[in-house]
Amino acid sequence: MTVFITGTAGFIGFHLAKLLLDQGHVVHGYDGMTDYYDVRLKRARHDLLRQYPQFTATEAMLEDDATLQAAVAAARPSAIVHLAAQAGVRYSIDHPRTYLDANIIGSFNVMEAARRQQVRHLLMASTSSVYGANTDMPYRETQKCDTQMSFYAATKKASESMAHAWAHIHGVPITLFRFFTVYGPWGRPDMAYFKFTRAILAGQPIDVYNHGDMWRDFTYVEDLVRAIALLVDAVPPQVAERANTQAVEGDSLSPVAPWRVVNIGNSDKVRLLDFIDAIEQCLGKPAIRNYVDMQPGDVPATWADASLLQRLTGYQPQTNLREGIQRFVDWYHAHYSPAQATV
Q: For the chain, what are the domain ranges?
A: 2-180+219-267+304-318
Q: Mean per-residue pLDDT for 115-132?
A: 95
**CATH class for the region spanning 2-180+219-267+304-318:** alpha beta
Q: Which pTM was predicted?
A: 0.94
Decide which of 310 and 98 is more confident.
310
Mean pLDDT of the chain: 92
At 45-76, the pLDDT tens digits run: 999 999 999 999 999 999 999 999 999 999 99
Neighbours of 77 (CB within 10 A): 26
What is the tally of helices (H) and strands (E) in the chain? 13, 13
pLDDT of res. 51: 98
Cβ atoms of residues 312 and 264 within 8 Å: no
Q: How far is CA 319 from CA 24, 219, 255, 301, 326, in A?
A: 24, 8, 35, 21, 11
Q: What is 249-292 written as a DSSP string? A: TT----SSSSEEEEEES-S--EEHHHHHHHHHHHHTS--EEEEE
Q: How confident is the model at residue 342 (pLDDT cuts 50, 70, 90)?
A: very low
Q: Indicate whether 299 pLDDT > 90.
A: no
Q: How far apart are the first and last CA of the chain?
A: 42
At 301-324, the pLDDT tens digits run: 889 999 999 999 999 999 999 999
pLDDT of res. 94: 65
At 226-269, the pLDDT tens digits run: 999 999 999 999 999 998 888 899 999 999 999 999 999 999 89
pLDDT of res. 221: 98
Q: Mean per-residue pLDDT for 30-39?
A: 90
Bridge partners for 139 per DSSP? 304
Cite the active site residues.
Answer: 152
